[in-house]
């Protein structure tokens, strides 16, 4: 094992599991450094769960190699499994058991003694605000409480690596945010998390984001890196006072190649320009100066870094991935 | 929503170090307690599993009257009745086996009742029963039934056979009594005729010849009548050697007397003095034998063999007690199969298998833990049921330890069948359906109501594959006879336990791998 691998919780190279008819995961290459959150984002059926199952050792890759916590997952020992936590997509909750009994059951599967369970359960119930529901039966819990109960179950044995398969699906935005607070807190305490989601905006909470489509990982990067990768940098949105100056402004900025990566008229606008630079906040004053210094002056009515949503970034990534396929078919 | 707690979520690594063997036991215990907790949260289930069957058993015991079917019967008598057989006597004979609802001389009335289902059976007694018998033809009693239950039909045929035997015996007693009456009168004449033979030996005057010939003819007629009315030779012979000789002596005397009459008519009587002496000697013999015959009770003559019955245990148990081991075996098996049938399929469908695969638990820990949970629960339920049975008077004569061992083995074998159903089922409802089919199989093929010996050999594998078949036989031995269960019971349950456990492990392992 190399020094780099030691610091990676998961390392996958060319992993493929082909279920036939285009289903499965293909040529997956990614790494998850220890102590980070990897968010797997993609539409339903894109292979997020399969990717997790391969990393958990529930499925063996037909091609490629993968290591989780430095071990081949299909050869995990009981000790290896004790270091991993898992929140499945499907609720596994026994409706006739109380919250405490559900937790005790899962914790006992990991070999924890009754004393250990009691101590740890108190901590974690407090962590997810379920202390008062300790004796409530599973069948009487709300959807959000059930989700939190699943999280507690997965954390009882204090895993160093936690897989959470769409833990925020179908819950309200407040609780969703709360879950990400839990996850970031766990990350801050040194755990590694792999979280799948269909909600693109949750990418912002992750240290790394893997964008998935049809079993393939289109891109793995930090959220900011992903933004840069798609947009080519950051965007400054300029509104010119006089629409007549659009042409001159475009020409001026395009000549300034050492700073401006690209510039174009904003969609559906006659006065707005989108200027792509490496760092929008850093280069915004210089861009304004450059335009103001032209003779005659190009007056800028307003200018600000443009906040492109991750939905847009995701859509652009999808479109980019779609384009070669359409070309092939066309 | 409250702020996140400041306490770290990371546990101290030192606090979760537990020895490996202890972890193994903890994991088994996890499944054990989960099953126990899930069951104890269902009080209605517990009630229905313990109290329900007990109530059924008590209801059965307090209302059960007889295991023989009550065959509602009408008897159609001949117009002139049966000579020598009173109607009340007939009612008693037929009422022994049948529920006699009607005695009539109108056959159409009885047939109408039979057609509507108001009665199940008509018995038509024959006309001129004694005349028909005398003519050498066996009179027939016509039984006409209207039953749909094959078991009841078998009973009707058997009871009809028994009744005809009883009627035959009664008729034989009547005819024998009549024969004895007549024989007593004839015996007086026999003694009297000995003197007449002596007179023949001494020579008979011409004037007495005609009267003597008439006496001889009359006497021969009496002997012919005696010959006709005597019970069959088999009846006489089965009583004693003396009576066995009655008919041969009578025949010999009748032949000799006809010879004497012929000699008397031919006037050659003096030439046959030796035959006359011999005939007189035979008459003495006949007289003695007739004396024996007339002094025997007709019942004894007709039924020389008497029934003597003794039950080593005093008497058989009441039906409720007799069926209790079967009920116990059925309940243990059904509870185990029903609970077992849901044990795996439910968790497989809810996705728990995926969690089990990710967790450091083995398949054996999963199955052993679940088995133990159900064994404890069913064991406690069985204990409650046994205590209730003891309270209502069901004995447990055998060894308690053997009883406990057999119960445990029956639970394990039944759980194996239940778990196998669960492993094979694709849904809860399918598992319940299969559990109900196993119940139906058990009721028919375990020997609970229908004896195992009633089935063709081809059904025996089914019989032996049912845990209850072995449990029922073993419980009956232990509880009611005080004997240890047969080795077959132990072996059968052990084999079912081992085979089903192995199959459950194999199938569940595949399912876990697919989870």
Tell me phi and psi for residue B341, to 5 degrees: -65, -25
Residue B360: closest C-alpha in chain A:
A78
Rounded mean pLDDT of B11-34?
A: 77
Q: Does B33 touch chain A (CB under 8 A)?
A: yes
Give the mutation candidate from A57, A101, A102, A108 for the B interface (greatest B CB count, under 10 A): A108
Note whether A146 and A93 are within 8 A (CB): yes
pLDDT of residue A194: 96
Residue tagged 């190399």 (tokens):
A2
Q: Which long-range contacts (CB under 8 A, 24 or more apart) does B303-308 make?
A: B303/B169, B304/B238, B304/B239
The pLDDT tens digits of the residues spanning A133-159 come to 999 999 999 888 998 999 899 999 989
Helix, strand or coil for residue A218? strand
pLDDT of residue B1: 46
Q: Give yes or no for a cis peptide into A296 (omega within 30° of 0).
A: yes
Rounded mean pLDDT of A32-40?
A: 94
Where does B295-427 have alpha helices with state H? 298-302, 319-343, 345-350, 352-358, 363-391, 400-424
Neighbours of A178 (CB within 10 A): 21
Contacts of B358 in chain A (CB under 8 A): 56, 58, 81, 84, 86
Rounded mean pLDDT of A209-230?
A: 88
Query: Per-residue b/e over B183-216, b at no fewer than 16 CB within 10 Å?
Result: beebbebbeebbebbebbbeebeeeeeeebeebb
Give the mutation candidate from A50, A101, A111 for the B interface (greatest B CB count, under 10 A): A111
**Contact across the interface for B33 and A108, Cβ inside 8 Å:** yes
Note whether A263 and A275 are within 8 A (CB): yes
Helix axes A99-109, A143-155, angle to 10 degrees: 30
The pLDDT tens digits of the residues spanning B91-126 come to 888 888 889 999 999 999 999 999 999 999 999 988
| pLDDT band (50, 70, 90) for residue A179 | confident
User: Any idea of the CA torsion for A94, A96, A101, A102, to the nearest 10 degrees?
Assistant: 10
Q: Which residue has the higher pLDDT, B6 or B469?
A: B469
Q: Does A172 touch chain B (CB under 8 A)?
A: no
Q: Is the pLDDT of residue A195 over 90?
A: yes
pLDDT of residue B234: 83
Q: Does B349 touch chain A (CB under 8 A)?
A: no
Contacts of A127 in chain B (CB under 8 A): 4-5, 7, 9
B490, containing H or E segment: helix B487-514
Rounded mean pLDDT of B240-245?
A: 88
Å from A268 to nearest chain B CA?
42
Q: Is the pLDDT of residue B206 over 80?
A: no
**Contact across the interface for B359 and A81, Cβ inside 8 Å:** yes
Contacts of A73 in chain B (CB under 8 A): none
Spatial separation of the C-alpha atoms in residues A65 and A2, rounded to whole Å: 15
**Contact across the interface for A97 and B34, Cβ inside 8 Å:** yes
Q: Does B262 touch chain A (CB under 8 A)?
A: no
pLDDT of residue B80: 79
Tell me phi and psi for residue A214, to 5 degrees: 45, 45
The secondary structure of B41-101 as a DSSP string is T-HHHHHHHHHHHHHHHHHHHHH---SS---EEEEE--TT-BTTB-HHHHHHHHHTTSEEE
pTM score above 0.80? no
Q: Specify the DSSP class assigned to residue B158.
A: H
Spatial separation of the C-alpha atoms in residues B27 and B22, rounded to whole Å: 9
Architecture (CATH level 2) of domain A232-305: 2-Layer Sandwich (3.30)
Total residues found in chain B within this entry: 515
Contacts of A81 in chain B (CB under 8 A): 358-360
Tell me phi and psi for residue B294, to 5 degrees: -75, -20
Residue B28: closest C-alpha in chain A:
A109
Structure tokens at B406: 């057999």
Count CA within 13 A, CB hemisphere, residue A140: 10
Q: Report which of A241, A287, A286, A247 is spatially closest to residue A265, judged by C-alpha positions.
A: A247
Total residues found in chain A within this entry: 330
Spatial separation of the C-alpha atoms in residues B417 and B357, rounded to whole Å: 24
Spatial separation of the C-alpha atoms in residues A67 and A73, rounded to whole Å: 6
* The domain defined by B72-173 carries CATH number 3.40.1710.10: yes
Q: Which of A196-210, B283-297, B378-392, B495-509 tops mean pLDDT?
A: B495-509
Query: What does the domain layout of chain A look like in residue ranges?
Result: 3-228, 232-305
Q: Specify the DSSP class assigned to residue A330.
A: -
Contacts of A87 in chain B (CB under 8 A): none
| pLDDT band (50, 70, 90) for residue B472 | very high
A3-228 falls under which CATH superfamily?
A: P-loop containing nucleotide triphosphate hydrolases (3.40.50.300)
Spatial separation of the C-alpha atoms in residues B316 and B322, rounded to whole Å: 8
Strands (E), A133-261: 161-165, 192-197, 208-213, 216-221, 234-240
Residue tagged 């021969």 (tokens):
B220
| pLDDT band (50, 70, 90) for residue B232 | confident
CA distances from B299 to A249, B41, B235 (A): 139, 70, 11
User: Any idea of the CA torsion for A109, A114, A116, A119, to the nearest 10 degrees?
Assistant: 120
Q: Which residue has the higher pLDDT, B82 or A29?
A: A29
Question: How buried is B153 (Cβ within 10 angstroms: 0-12 exposed, 13-18 middle, 19+ buried)?
Answer: middle
- The whole-chain average pLDDT of chain A stands at 89
Å from B499 to nearest chain A CA?
27
Q: Report which of A194, A123, A200 is spatially closest to residue A157, judged by C-alpha positions.
A: A123
Q: Report which of A44, A294, A42, A10 is spatially closest to residue A161, judged by C-alpha positions.
A: A10
Q: Does A161 touch chain B (CB under 8 A)?
A: no
Contacts of B26 in chain A (CB under 8 A): 108, 111-113
Q: Is the pLDDT of residue B420 over 60?
A: yes
Spatial separation of the C-alpha atoms in residues B440 and B443, rounded to whole Å: 5
For the ranges A283-292, B319-328, B407-416, B499-508, which has the lowest average pLDDT?
B319-328
pLDDT of residue B9: 58
Spatial separation of the C-alpha atoms in residues A106 and B31, rounded to whole Å: 10
Cβ-Cβ contacts under 8 Å between A and B: the total is 116
Nearest to B37 among A84, A91, A101 (CB): A101
CA distances from B399 to A90, B407, B415 (A): 51, 12, 24
Residue B347: closest C-alpha in chain A:
A92
Structure tokens at B485: 């269960």
Dmax (CA) for chain B in angstroms is 153
CA distances from B204 to A83, B209, B210, B216 (A): 136, 6, 10, 13
Q: Is the pLDDT of residue B479 over 50?
A: yes
B464: which residues sit within 8 A by CB, 6+ positions away? B470, B492
| pLDDT band (50, 70, 90) for residue B13 | very low
Q: Does B342 touch chain A (CB under 8 A)?
A: no
Give the mutation candidate from A69, A109, A188, A193 for the B interface (greatest B CB count, under 10 A): A109
Contacts of A177 in chain B (CB under 8 A): none
Q: Report which of B347, B32, B17, B350 is spatially closest to residue A104, judged by C-alpha positions.
A: B32
What share of chain B in percent tops pLDDT 90?
Answer: 41
The CA-based angle B143-B147-B151, given to 5 degrees, is 100
Q: Is the pLDDT of residue A28 over 90?
A: yes
Q: Is the pLDDT of residue B57 over 50?
A: yes
Contacts of A17 in chain B (CB under 8 A): none
Rounded mean pLDDT of A81-91?
A: 90
Contacts of A157 in chain B (CB under 8 A): 16
The pLDDT tens digits of the residues spanning B332-381 come to 999 999 999 999 999 999 889 999 999 999 999 999 999 999 999 999 98
Q: Does B95 touch chain A (CB under 8 A)?
A: no
Note whether A89 and A169 are within 8 A (CB): yes
pLDDT of residue A328: 60
Helix axes A99-109, A114-127, angle to 10 degrees: 120
A253: which residues sit within 8 A by CB, 6+ positions away? A260, A263, A273, A275, A287, A290, A291
**Pairing assessment for the beta strands A272-277 and A234-240 based on DSSP bridges:** antiparallel
pLDDT of residue B494: 97
Tell me phi and psi for residue A29, to 5 degrees: -130, 115
């Amino acid at each position: 094992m190399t020094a780099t691998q030691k610091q990676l919780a998961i390392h996958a190279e060319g992993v493929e599991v082909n279920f036939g008819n285009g289903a499965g995961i293909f040529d997956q290459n990614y790494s998850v450094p220890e102590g980070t959150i990897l968010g797997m984002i993609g539409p339903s059926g894109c292979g997020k769960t399969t990717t997790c199952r391969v990393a958990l050792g529930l499925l063996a890759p037909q091609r490629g190699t993968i290591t989780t916590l430095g071990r081949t997952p299909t050869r995990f020992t009981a000790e290896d499994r004790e270091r991993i936590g898992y929140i499945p997509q499907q609720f596994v909750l026994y409706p006739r058991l109380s919250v405490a009994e559900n937790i005790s059951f899962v914790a006992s599967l990991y070999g924890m003694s009754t004393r250990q369970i009691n101590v740890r359960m108190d901590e974690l119930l407090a962590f997810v605000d379920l202390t008062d529901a300790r004796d409530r039966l599973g069948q009487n819990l709300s959807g959000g409480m059930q989700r939190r109960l699943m999280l507690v179950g997965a954390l009882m044995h204090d895993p160093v690596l936690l897989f959470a398969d769409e833990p925020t699906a179908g819950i309200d935005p407040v609780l969703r945010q709360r879950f990400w607070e839990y996850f970031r807190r766990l990350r801050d305490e040194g755990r590694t998390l792999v979280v799948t989601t269909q909600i693109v905006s949750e990418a912002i909470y992750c240290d790394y984001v893997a964008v998935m489509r049809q079993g393939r990982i289109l891109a793995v990067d930090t959220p900011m890196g992903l933004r840069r990768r798609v947009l080519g940098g950051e965007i400054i949105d300029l509104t010119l006072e006089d629409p007549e100056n659009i042409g001159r402004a475009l020409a001026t900025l395009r000549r300034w190649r050492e700073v401006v990566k690209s510039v174009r008229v904003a969609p559906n606008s006659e006065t707005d320009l989108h200027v792509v630079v490496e760092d929008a906040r850093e280069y915004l004053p210089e861009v304004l100066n450059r335009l103001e210094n032209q003779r005659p002056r190009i007056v800028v009515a307003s200018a600000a870094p443009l906040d492109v949503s991750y939905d847009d970034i995701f859509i652009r990534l999808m479109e980019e991935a779609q384009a070669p396929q359409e070309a092939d078919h066309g | 929503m409250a702020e996140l707690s400041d306490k770290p979520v990371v546990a101290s690594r030192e606090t979760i170090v537990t020895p490996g063997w202890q972890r193994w036991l903890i994991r088994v215990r996890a499944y054990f307690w989960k099953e126990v907790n899930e069951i104890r949260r269902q009080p209605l289930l517990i009630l229905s599993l313990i109290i329900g069957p007990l109530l059924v058993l008590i209801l059965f015991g307090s209302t059960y009257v007889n295991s023989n079917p009550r065959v509602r019967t009408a008897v159609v008598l001949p117009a002139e009745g049966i000579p020598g057989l009173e109607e009340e006597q007939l009612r008693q004979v037929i009422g022994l086996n049948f529920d006699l609802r009607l005695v009539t001389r109108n056959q159409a009335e009885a047939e109408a009742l039979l057609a509507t289902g108001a009665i199940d059976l008509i018995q038509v007694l024959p006309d001129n029963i004694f005349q028909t018998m005398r003519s050498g033809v066996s009179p027939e009693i016509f039984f006409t039934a209207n039953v749909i239950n094959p078991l009841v039909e078998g009973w009707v045929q058997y009871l009809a056979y028994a009744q005809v035997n009883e009627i035959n015996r009664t008729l034989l007693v009547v005819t024998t009594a009549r024969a004895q009456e007549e024989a007593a009168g004839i015996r007086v004449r026999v003694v009297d005729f000995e003197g007449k033979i002596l007179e023949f030996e001494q020579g008979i005057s011409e004037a007495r010849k005609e009267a003597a010939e008439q006496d001889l003819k009359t006497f021969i007629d009496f002997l012919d009548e005696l010959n006709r009315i005597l019970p069959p030779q088999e009846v006489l012979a089965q009583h004693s050697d003396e009576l066995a000789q009655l008919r041969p002596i009578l025949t010999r005397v009748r032949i000799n007397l006809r010879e004497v009459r012929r000699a008397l008519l031919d006037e050659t009587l003096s030439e046959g003095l030796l035959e006359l002496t011999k005939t007189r000697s035979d008459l003495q013999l006949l007289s003695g034998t007739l004396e024996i015959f007339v002094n025997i009770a007709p019942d004894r003559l007709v039924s020389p063999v008497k029934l003597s019955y003794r039950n080593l245990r005093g008497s058989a148990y009441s039906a409720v007690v007799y069926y209790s081991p079967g009920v116990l075996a059925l309940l243990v098996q059904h509870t185990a199969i029903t609970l077992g049938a849901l044990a795996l399929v439910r968790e497989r469908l809810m996705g728990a298998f995926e969690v089990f695969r990710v967790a450091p638990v083995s398949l054996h820990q999963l199955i052993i833990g679940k088995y133990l949970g159900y064994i404890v629960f069913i064991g406690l339920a069985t204990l409650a049921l046994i205590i209730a049975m003891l309270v209502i008077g069901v004995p447990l004569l055998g060894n308690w330890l053997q009883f406990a061992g057999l119960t445990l083995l029956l639970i394990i074998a039944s759980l194996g069948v239940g778990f196998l159903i669960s492993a094979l089922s694709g849904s809860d409802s399918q598992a319940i359906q299969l559990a109900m089919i196993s119940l139906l199989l058990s009721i028919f093929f375990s020997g609970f109501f229908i004896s195992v010996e009633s089935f063709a050999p081809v059904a025996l594998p089914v019989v032996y594959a049912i845990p209850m078949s072995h449990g029922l036989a073993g419980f009956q031995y232990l509880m009611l006879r005080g004997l240890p269960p047969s080795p077959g019971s132990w072996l059968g349950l052990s084999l079912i336990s081992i085979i089903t456990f192995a199959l459950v492990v194999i199938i569940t392992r595949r399912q876990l791998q697919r989870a």
